[in-house]
Structure 1
């Protein structure tokens, strides 16, 4: 199947899918935990999320890809985060309006980190590679298994400490409850050993949140989960799949072994002083 050109049209499709997944997550938190004050807004086509001060979703996606962005739009975005005492963060595609390269540093932003956005086409004839580990099976988890999926996912991060594992458990509960979400489990001998997230939006599948419990590693669960999610997405009519990964990471290597290619590398930008520009009227 022909690989799509990594142009602005593709970038808009990929960024909108991830932004919508995050907006749906924020709405799930808003619905289940109204005291969290989670919310999101759209400014110049970008989606800006507030999901809590410690959440990796508290930032914007798609800035400069859809509509022109100037000082007025940046001021509105900065005010949104400043009102909630949150860091001002924007993850920006290199296919966004080139004027941002001058505007962001001029407003006091500095580059913080890279993320590779990977993609591959999907078709109705997609078939995952055979699972080679005896007793290893994949399945979509059911709505009533949200806690099981979240617990399995969180246990995969247990080596990072109890506090982080607890954070990932609550994160997983909300992820499983988000509209458009289709979480998957890998089981070995009937016992869950790995979990992977999937979000479907207008023909694009976003793969996210994959982890394996320490005792279940080196059994091929992650590759099998990736294939199972791609197969499910293809059967739902998706023609494109995407995921994000740290440049050069094992996640990127696994994706490339399964037909993914890097579309572009995003840069996350952080405002040097929270709300400094917003307090002066965004000028």
Structure 2
């Protein structure tokens, strides 16, 4: 990539990406509340961020987008911690390295510990981008009649993660993954893609368009079809679609040193910033009053 097309990882750029992430998580949580009105779904603003609990063990259960603009008070954080404790859930923050450093300091003083990192990579888009597909891999957008096939491919692929790079500290029940993917798929600007090899479903991925940002998310390949160009083809197809839709920026989140990171960097993505993942280390007496035991 030529220098003039590169991205400067500024606080402004990080804020734009974090806002897109916040809106995606919020829409997914609200879809979870609609899917199961009996579930005690939690969607609470916290400064510039958002605290979400979308169901037991859901990948959406976290706090995102903090430290970008408005601060949150200790009283507001007390209320979030109490609400999570009542749901027997630990509070997990994802904090950008370009956010206000005082956020991490405050959290560590309250007993939060660092559990890991995730990388946020970006690529400047242009409308002349061409998609290059691997041989025998055919990708199509997912219509209503293919939704369940696509969903099963995504969930089955996630169930057997690629072991290259740093292992994830997170493990989710199968039904929680299925619910979260189904819920996020109802968000605005969302498009699912299904890859086939010789007509057989091999992998799936998601694209979400938000205010000019193309979020590449929810990608998975069935184990027997890996190392055959499925994810590269899905990436290329989504990038071309995002550019054609007028997006100027594509972003993807990966585990450090993972196969997914390697795939996107081959297409020109660059590391923009890192999110630190901090989790409350232990419940306090306050956490268990009037609710279920904290998990």
Q: TM-score, normalised by structure 2?
A: 0.86
CA contact (8 A) 1:204 1:241 kept: yes
**Given the superposition, is the C-alpha separation of residues 131 and 208 from structure 1 closer, same or farther in structure 2, using an over 3 Å criterion?**
same
SS in 2 for 1:15: helix
Which residue is 1:145 aligned to? Answer: 146
Which residue is 2:44 aligned to? Answer: 41
CA contact (8 A) 2:56 2:176 kept: no
Q: Does 1:105 align with 2:108?
A: yes
1:25-104 mapped onto 2 (5 Å cutoff): 25-104=28-107
The CA deviation at 1:33 is: 1.7
1:100-139 mapped onto 2 (5 Å cutoff): 100-128=103-131, 130-134=132-136, 136-139=137-140
The CA deviation at 1:152 is: 1.4
Match of 1:267 among 258, 269, 276: 276
CA contact (8 A) 2:86 2:287 kept: no
Match of 2:225 among 216, 221, 229: 216
CA contact (8 A) 1:118 1:264 kept: yes
The CA deviation at 1:244 is: 0.8
Which residue is 2:196 aligned to? Answer: 187
Following TM superposition, the consecutive aligned residue runs of length 4 or more in structure 1 with deviations greater than 6 angstroms are 277-280
Which residue is 1:247 aligned to? Answer: 256
Name stretches of at least 5 consecutive residues in structure 1 with no aligned partner: none
* Aligned equivalents of 1:73, 1:38: Cα separation in 2: 17
**Given the superposition, is the C-alpha separation of residues 19 and 276 from structure 1 closer, same or farther in structure 2, using an over 3 Å criterion?**
farther
SS in 2 for 1:90: strand
Q: Does 1:154 align with 2:155?
A: yes
SS in 1 for 2:194: strand
* Aligned equivalents of 1:114, 1:51: Cα separation in 2: 22
Name stretches of at least 5 consecutive residues in structure 2 with no aligned partner: 162-171, 290-295
Of 148-157 and 55-64, more deviation after overlay is shown by 148-157
CA contact (8 A) 2:55 2:176 kept: no
**Given the superposition, is the C-alpha separation of residues 105 and 173 from structure 1 closer, same or farther in structure 2, using an over 3 Å criterion?**
closer
1:43-95 Cα offsets, whole Å, 9 max, x none, are: 21101111123112111101111212342342243233233332111111111
Q: Does 1:233 align with 2:236?
A: no
CA contact (8 A) 2:189 2:210 kept: yes
* Aligned equivalents of 1:153, 1:144: Cα separation in 2: 16
1:174-231 Cα offsets, whole Å, 9 max, x none, are: 3333333211111122221110011111110111111111232222110000010111
* Aligned equivalents of 1:167, 1:81: Cα separation in 2: 17
